[in-house]
Amino acid sequence: MTEQVKRAIATGETLKDKYPVGVQWELSNIKALQHKNVADLLTEGLRRNPSGTAISFMGNKISYSELNDLVNQAAKGLQEMGVEKGTKVGLHMPNTPYYPIMFMAALRIGATVVNFSPLYNEDELAAQIKDSDTEVMVTLNLNDFIDKSVSLKKQGVLKSIVKCDLQDMLPSIKKTAFNLLKSSEVRGDTEHSVNFNDIIKNDGNLETAKVSPDDIAVLQYTSGSTGVPKGAMLTHFNLAANTTQVCGFFGENNMKPPGATNIGYASEKILATIPYFHVYGMMTAMINPLQMGNEIIIIPNPRDIPGTLATIDKEKPSITPLVPTLIRAFDEHPKNAWQAFKADKKNGFLKRVFNAVTKYPLFRSFDLTSIKGVVSGGAALPPATAESFEKMVGTKGVIKQGYGLSETSPVASSNPGYGRNDPSTVGLPYPGTEIKIADPNDPDKIMAIGEMGEICIRGPQVFKGYYNKPNETAEVLTEDGWFRTGDLGHLDDDMYLHITDRKKRMIIVNGENVFPNKIESKICKHPAIAECVVIGLPDKRSGEAAKVFIRYKNDAPRPSKVELQQFLQKELTKAEMPKYLVEVEVEAEVEEEFPNKNGKTDWKALQDAERAKLLDEAKSTQPDTQEFKPA
């Protein structure tokens, strides 16, 4: 065995005999991508499927030809508003057809898109607007959205607002119902905003802006789990390369065997539950499907689980990117009226009956068997959850776990469409992507295969840097192009990547490194536990100690505290054993106990709150934090 094989570095050389037959590591068209405007990817989808459906939204269908016309008209309308190459255009809304329309329209004229979380309050919105130099905000006419933008425009924080009327994207019956029932939730502001319907009143004749490899397409703000959110500069080249990598890894290829999870061209239905403001949803449920000419079924509110399941039952999507929280929710949620009636513990008899018969099938269960491929990302997925979900949809191996970050546009690795599909890993590096495991204190020192270190990534999808933050950029981007992720993991002999945890999330107990992600995975092996989150708290005796929040499955029998202790003692080392345990008793508490960001538990918000609580308790003579002592 050569020294190169022993070193934990995955390159084109070390990967060539690891990839499944038909998947190539080299990106043959990489030079052509360097000057491709991301909006041209929509043109490719149009060429592949001109009369086919591009977008399905609550029963409304938009063809590729119609979508392309709307994009061109919106682009010209933005130009007439003064938007030009380099202008920052913000998108602040949930998933609706307006998102891909305005996203592609802004890019077509060379503007830069800035994605804003629809959950932001006004202060958070203002902070990101100022940090990103956003001038134009595109938002919905719903009060929760337009009011914030109007307020900020009055304060001089924003220059212009484009208001999109949600009801205009609904089929006629739903539009009428919306106008009757939701009129109080809609602002008809015309003084401070321009209506989308007005900016598209033109012939749509314009040329797509030419771009260079360094031109910024998107400012993608990081989640901020380890600090203040920063704007990752994603170039047109980064995004065009990443969607090309997805196609190379999962796209149709005659050399792939029957039964492989391929993503076909102009033949798939993609369920878009991941928010478009998040880089994961933006790439896997918008840019990539549009390039491939596939239909996108847009879900505006993925937290409406029965509504989403009903959409799957009716529209029959074949591929869906998901996060573990949604996979778990789909798996646990009632699938028919009788199950829903039994599970409803909050309402009276008549309300339970009404909810059950109006939201769920009466004489059958939701049919989810159309799903042939799920890419799971954003957080670790417990193997038991994956297995249960796959039984539900009737296809073993349907879930492919992957790995990525805002800074990698986002996808860097994934389990392949066929061959080894190992749910304990996040798979192989994408085509054209190099991954190495480096000493956390010395990125030039490469660890050995199987040894844990910091995950470093190099490839065409790696971002340009953080907007207006050269010092922070220099901390994570090396001169030779390696991105230091801050994540810890290792490569195995097959060059599959294993994630351990965030470097900054590590807990040190009596001098021993303890990783919350590893503890969570072990705890979730218990058949009664639906989810958990582990945080680290300061401790006088051990330096730090783990605290775990547990939520049980709705219908599973609860273990006693002694039984749970005995289970954990078998699974965990002494250092990993939580000192404190909180049982989240009812579903209503989950939002409070498990703060959620981008579809994954915001462990840092929870940890900050618990540490603040400890400080308050320290001032009290009667601390109320109860230790979870071994039996």
* pLDDT tens track for 437-464: 999 888 889 999 999 999 999 999 999 9
pLDDT of residue 600: 64
Alpha carbon distances (Å) from 546 to 317, 398, 498: 41, 34, 22
- Pick from 101-110, 257-266, 574-583 the range whose average pLDDT is largest: 101-110
Rounded CA-CA distance 503/480 in Å is 22
Burial of 186 (0-12, 13-18, 19+ CB in 10 A): middle
CB under 8 Å to 247, separation ≥6 — which residues? 263, 288, 291, 292
pLDDT tens, position by position, 181-229: 887 888 777 789 999 999 999 999 998 899 998 999 999 998 655 457 8
Tokens matching residue 393: 């949809």
Type of residue at 135 = E
| Closest-CA residue to 109 (of 87, 137, 90, 84) | 84
Are 374 and 366 within 8 A, CB to CB?
A: no
Average pLDDT on 344-349 reads 89
Is the model's pLDDT at 405 over the cut of 70? yes
Size of the chain in residues = 631
What is the tens place of the pLDDT at every residue in 542-579?
888 999 999 898 778 889 988 999 999 999 988 899 99
Tokens 């959950």 sit on residue: 119
Element (H, E) at 308: helix 305-315
Q: Which helix (H) or strand (E) holds 543?
A: strand 543-552
Class of domain 64-210: alpha beta
**Phi, psi torsion values for 101, nearest 5 degrees:** -60, -55
Query: Residue 2: exposed, middle, or buried by beta-carbon count in 10 A (0-12, 13-18, 19+)?
Result: exposed
Asked whether residue 591 carries a pLDDT value surpassing 50, the answer given is: no
Task: Give me the residues paired with residue 53 across strands.
Answer: 63
Average pLDDT for residues 574-590, to the nearest whole number? 73
Q: For the chain, how far is it from start to end, CA to CA, in angstroms?
A: 48
* Residue 628 confidence class, pLDDT cut points 50, 70, 90: low
E strands, 405-528, where? 411-414, 428-429, 434-439, 442-446, 453-458, 465-466, 483-491, 497-502, 507-509, 512-514
Q: Which of 226, 220, 236 is nearest to 291 (CA)?
A: 236
Q: What is the C-alpha to C-alpha distance for residues 596 and 590, in angstroms, rounded to an integer? A: 9
Nearest C-alpha neighbor of 55 from the set 382, 285, 389, 394: 285
Does residue 477 sit in helix, strand or coil?
A: strand
Q: Which residue has the higher pLDDT, 433 or 580?
A: 433
Pair of tokens at residue 458:
């190099």
Give the pLDDT score at 70: 99
Three-state SS letters, 69-114 = HHHHHHHHHHHHCCCCCCCEEEEECCCCCHHHHHHHHHHHCCCEEE
Percentage of the chain lying above the pLDDT 90 cut: 65
Contacts (Cβ under 8 Å, ≥6 apart) of 606? 533, 535, 549, 593, 594, 595
Q: How far apart are CA 258 and CA 150, in angstroms?
A: 54
* Number of neighbours of residue 494 by Cβ within 10 angstroms: 16
**Positive or negative torsion for Cα 444, 448, 452, 455:** positive
- What does the pLDDT average to over 478-506? 91
Give residue for tokens 């991301």: 38
* Cβ atoms 110, 215 nearer than 8 A: yes
Asked if residue 453 lies in contact with residue 447, where contact means CB atoms within 8 angstroms, the answer is yes
Domain boundaries, the chain: 64-210, 506-618
600, β-bridge pairs: 597
How far is it, in rounded angstroms, from Cα 202 to Cα 561? 68
Q: Which long-range contacts (CB under 8 A, 24 or more apart) does 23-31 make?
A: 23/248, 23/249, 23/253, 23/256, 23/416, 23/431, 24/248, 24/431, 25/431, 25/432, 26/431, 26/432, 27/241, 27/244, 27/245, 27/248, 27/431, 27/432, 27/460, 29/244, 30/241, 30/432, 30/460
Per-residue pLDDT for 588 more than 70? no
Phi then psi dihedrals of residue 445, to 5 deg = -95, 115
Residue 199 is encoded by which pair of tokens?
Answer: 């900016």
Interhelix angle for 383-393 vs 324-332, to 10°?
A: 50
197 versus 396: which is more confidently predicted? 197
Q: What is the pLDDT of residue 369?
A: 95
pLDDT at 592: 44
pLDDT value of residue 626: 60
Tokens of 121: 């309050």
Give the span between the Cα atoms of 292 and 11, in whole angstroms: 27
Q: What is the CA radius of gyration of the chain?
A: 25
Measure the CA–CA gap between 385 and 371, rounded to whole angstroms.
16
Give the integer Cα–Cα distance in Å for 550 and 240. Answer: 41
pLDDT band at 589 (very low <50, low <70, confident <90, very high): very low
Predicted local confidence at residue 224, as pLDDT: 56
What value does the mean pLDDT take over residues 384-388? Answer: 86
Residue 31 — pLDDT band, cuts 50, 70, 90?
Answer: confident
Write out the H or E segment, with its range, that includes residue 164. strand 160-164
For 173-180, what is the mean pLDDT?
86
Average pLDDT, the chain: 90
* Euclidean distance between CA atoms 350 and 552, whole angstroms: 27
pLDDT at residue 615 in the model = 75
The average pLDDT across 56-65 equals: 98
Instruction: Read off the pLDDT of each residue in 41-69 and give the average, rounded to a whole number.
Output: 98
Helix (H, G, I), strand (E, B) or coil at 217: strand
Contact 628, 578 (CB under 8 A): yes
- Amino acid present at 292: M
pLDDT band at 340 (very low <50, low <70, confident <90, very high): very high
Amino acid at 186: V
| Tens-digit pLDDT profile for residues 367-379 | 999 999 999 987 7
Task: Indicate the pTM of the whole model.
Answer: 0.87
Mean pLDDT of 81-104: 98
Alpha-carbon distance 413 to 425, whole Å?
10
Tell how strand 88-92 and strand 9-10 pair up.
Answer: unpaired
CB atoms within 10 A of CB 384: 16
CATH number assigned to the domain covering 506-618: 3.30.300.30
Q: What are phi and psi of 552, to 5 degrees?
A: -85, 155
Helix or strand run (H / E) with residue 247: helix 236-250
Q: What is the DSSP letter of 317?
A: -
Tens digit of each residue's pLDDT (9 = 90 or more) over 517-547:
889 988 999 999 988 899 999 888 888 899 9
For residue 114, list its beta bridge partners. Answer: 90, 219
Identify the pLDDT of residue 163.
97
Q: What are phi and psi of 26, to 5 degrees?
A: -75, 140
